[in-house]
Amino acid sequence: MNPSNHFEIPGSVSLQTGKGGLPLIRIESAASSAEIYYHGAHVSHFQRRNEPPLLFMSEASEFEAGKPIRGGVPIVFPWFGARDGMPMHGFARLAEWNVVTSKLLPDGSVMLHFRLPHDDMFDTDFIVTVGETLAMELSVTNTGRSDFRFESCLHTYFQIGDIHQVEIAGLKGARYLDTLVSQEFTEAEETIRFTGETDRVYQNSSAGVEIRDPVLRRIIRVRKSGSLSTVVWNPWIAKSQRMPDFGDDEYLRMLCVESGNVKENATVLKPGETSILRAEISSEVTS
Ligand code: BG6
């Protein structure tokens, strides 16, 4: 595909060739920079000026049509997890999205609007605003004649200094499914720490989450709306070794905190209805 560059804004938005020869949009806002692939409308990079990148990207990631990118923000839609004979986590992260428009906003931030190629059942739009924060909005409208049930998730990979020292606050009291043992628990801890493979789906939780990272001396905050699920994932040692597109030691400096609506929090839209899933990521340097 040879995408058009109708959305370019000199000095702010440019079309470039990314890894694997895939088309990439490079964004420079007053406060930050970002990169987004057409492939999956995948935000692969976000960095505030004078701070390390906020998003983790695996050195081993493949950048190839038909394969997901390992890092950044894969869009999980319209289902979460495995489905018989279908791609894991849905087809949105494997699709080539279209760019509808771009805009330079008065505060110096830059907005990019993507749309999934047409489907008879639903319209899907993804709006990314790159500025002091990274704001992402996935909007789905049921254009069919019957109810549409789907799962969605902004599967965000964060870059951290050391998985052994990081902690996550904000989920105390939330019920979660521990996918590793297929059992439900209630989060008893004020903060979550990592001592092994972790794969949890927190349900009915609209709370924001804080990632405290003493090594990179940074607090990352995820604020969300239109989202009742938060997935927390780190593959640890054995799973990292099994994943072909992930380095054996990379689990040490990443973790996923994913905002979405999955499992019992799946969205059901009546014909004509729209839902909006929004996550905004900010960071604060600590001393
Ligand atoms: C998480 C799931 O959301 O995604 C994990 O909870 C899964 O079970 C992980 O391993 C990565 O999935 P994938 O398809 O990108 O390897």
Q: What is the DSSP string of 109-137?
A: -EEEEEEPPP-SSEEEEEEEEESSSEEEE
Query: Does residue 124 register a pLDDT over 70?
Result: yes
Domain ranges for the chain, please list them: 13-285
pLDDT digits (tens, 9 = 90+) for 258-275: 999 999 999 999 999 999
Query: Does residue 1 register a pLDDT over 60?
Result: no
Place 43 in a pLDDT band, splitting at 50, 70 and 90.
Answer: very high
Instruction: Using CA atoms of 166, 171, 173, 174 in order, give the dihedral in degrees to the nearest 10.
Output: -130
pLDDT digits (tens, 9 = 90+) for 52-70: 999 999 999 999 999 999 9
Q: State if residue 199 touches ligand 1 by the CB under 6 angstroms criterion.
A: yes
* Residue owning the nearest CA to atom 6 of ligand 1: 199
Q: Is 164 helix (H, G, I), strand (E, B) or coil?
A: coil
Place 118 in a pLDDT band, splitting at 50, 70 and 90.
Answer: confident
Write down the pLDDT at residue 287: 81
Assigned token pair, 98: 């279209």
Q: State if residue 41 touches ligand 1 by the CB under 6 angstroms criterion.
A: no
Q: How far apart are CA 274 and CA 262, in angstroms?
A: 17
Ligand 1 atom nearest residue 235's Cα: 10
| pTM for the structure as a whole | 0.98
Ligand 1 atom nearest residue 74's Cα: 15
Q: Which residues of 213-252 are buried (b: 16+ CB within 10 A; e: fewer)?
A: beebebbbbbbbebbbbbbbbbbbeeebeeeebbbeebbb
CATH fold of the domain at 13-285? Beta-galactosidase; Chain A, domain 5 (2.70.98)
Catalytic residue among 35, 89, 155, 250: 155
Instruction: Using CA atoms of 25, 94, 128, 269 in order, give the dihedral in degrees to the nearest 10.
Output: 160
Question: Do residues 53 and 71 lie in contact, with contact meaning Cβ atoms separated by under 8 Å?
Answer: no
155 is catalytic: yes
Write down the pLDDT at residue 119: 85
The CA 81 to ligand 1 mean position distance, Å, reads 7
